[in-house]
Amino acid sequence: MVESLRTDAPAARGGPVVVVTGASSGIGRGVAQALAARGADVVLAARTERTLTAVARECERLGGRVLVVPTDVSDEAAVQDLVSRAVGRFGHIDAWVNAAAVWSYGRFEDTPGPVFRQIVNTTLFGQVHAARAVLPQFRSQGHGVLVNVGSLYGRLSSPYVSPYVTAKWGLLGFSEVLRQELRDAPGIAVCSVLPGAVDTPIHRHAANYVGRRIRPLPPVTSPERVVAAVVRAIDRPRREIVVGRTQRVGIWAHRLVPGLYDRLSGPVVDAFVVRRAPVPAHDGTVFAPDPLPCAVDDGWRRHDHRLIGRALTVATAGLAALAVGVRAFGRRRHRR
């Protein structure tokens, strides 16, 4: 049972030991499941023990051994305790996946200062606290992989997400500095995984000060692709992994035509992200986790596939009607 795994007694070495923060939903939950299926010993960290217990049961059924450690990564002492608990249970840590993040939508001027600070505290300083806590362990054992789940928002930006962009730009620079400073420790790797919009509950959980319902910016990437990139980074560490071809185009556009990018980003976000349905201002899960069960994906790709299917149907019908009209017009001209 999961309860029997929540102990700090040392365990005999099994598969690799991986700590996953943000393991209650989205990418973190998917990574934990994928690692457990490969026989890894997984340490699950997030703010809600009840949700982590559900994830632990999933991982155990997949074949992994699990330790649940409820942790708010914005609390540095809690992250230090997470490392102690993981080493106390499994004896070492082979890899650490930083997937914890919170989000908000709203103009900078409309976003409350405490919300801005908490997003940065969780999404940037949570990763900083993890590095400070786990790097001494990596150095003492001579190896380790630190995977920071970043974002394309570490390379480009868009309206309404200023605290998240601030955190992700900072995270990318922080990761780069760590790689430079760890050149004396060739057994330790720092990897950045940069996805675009991913079909996870983070958008539904986001604080909202736009006044309208929000959806992720299409095209929405499947969380499975990001999970696969994270697992690949653990197996074969690389400096940086961008997930998705369309996302690479966005990076190049931002670099090559920054003025045009700035002019178009606002209208694109307003057209494809901000919906018509009104929503009162709220702080989402920035300060407190969602009490309801969470999943890896949030159904946006299924929704988009239906929209694309309807659009293709309409387009096909329109082309067919156009073809019929052209044919009829051609016959009339021929008769004349």
CA–CA distance, 5 with 287 (Å, rounded to integer): 29
CA–CA distance, 110 with 131 (Å, rounded to integer): 32
The confidence score (pLDDT) of residue 333 equals: 56
CA–CA distance, 121 with 20 (Å, rounded to integer): 18
- Is the per-residue pLDDT at 5 higher than 50? no
pLDDT tens for residues 146-184? Answer: 999 999 999 999 999 999 999 999 999 999 999 999 999
- Is the per-residue pLDDT at 117 higher than 60? yes
The confidence band for 304, taking pLDDT boundaries of 50, 70 and 90, is: low
DSSP 38: T
Question: Which CATH architecture describes the domain 2-298?
Answer: 3-Layer(aba) Sandwich (3.40)
Contact between residue 108 and residue 162 where contact means Cβ atoms under 8 Å apart: yes
User: What residues does each domain of the chain span?
Assistant: 2-298, 300-336
CA–CA distance, 259 with 154 (Å, rounded to integer): 18
pLDDT tens for residues 90-115? Answer: 999 999 999 999 999 999 999 999 99
- Is the per-residue pLDDT at 83 higher than 80? yes
Beta bridge partners of 212: 278
- Is the per-residue pLDDT at 308 higher than 70? no
Half-sphere exposure of 276 (CA within 13 A, CB side): 0
Residues 6+ apart with CB under 8 A from 208: 104, 105, 106, 214, 279, 281, 282, 284
- Is the per-residue pLDDT at 37 higher than 90? yes
Q: Which of 230, 253, 240 is nearest to 157 (CA)?
A: 253
> What is the mean predicted confidence (pLDDT) over 113-129?
98
Beta bridge partners of 66: 42
> What is the mean predicted confidence (pLDDT) over 273-287?
95
Q: Which two tokens stand for residue 11?
A: 């365990």
The confidence band for 326, taking pLDDT boundaries of 50, 70 and 90, is: very low
Report the amino acid identity of residue 86: A
Give the chain's mean pLDDT. Answer: 88
Point out the residues that are catalytic. Answer: 164
pLDDT tens for residues 251-261? Answer: 888 899 999 99
pLDDT tens for residues 184-242? Answer: 999 999 999 999 999 999 999 999 999 999 999 888 999 999 999 999 999 999 999 99
- Is the per-residue pLDDT at 13 higher than 60? no
- Is the per-residue pLDDT at 119 higher than 60? yes
Token pair 């969380």 in the structure block, residue:
223
CA–CA distance, 137 with 7 (Å, rounded to integer): 20
The confidence band for 314, taking pLDDT boundaries of 50, 70 and 90, is: very low
The confidence score (pLDDT) of residue 96 equals: 98
The confidence score (pLDDT) of residue 124 equals: 98
Number of H helices and E strands in the chain, helices first, is: 12, 11
DSSP 297: -
Contact between residue 86 and residue 93 where contact means Cβ atoms under 8 Å apart: yes
- Is the per-residue pLDDT at 130 higher than 80? yes
The confidence score (pLDDT) of residue 14 equals: 64
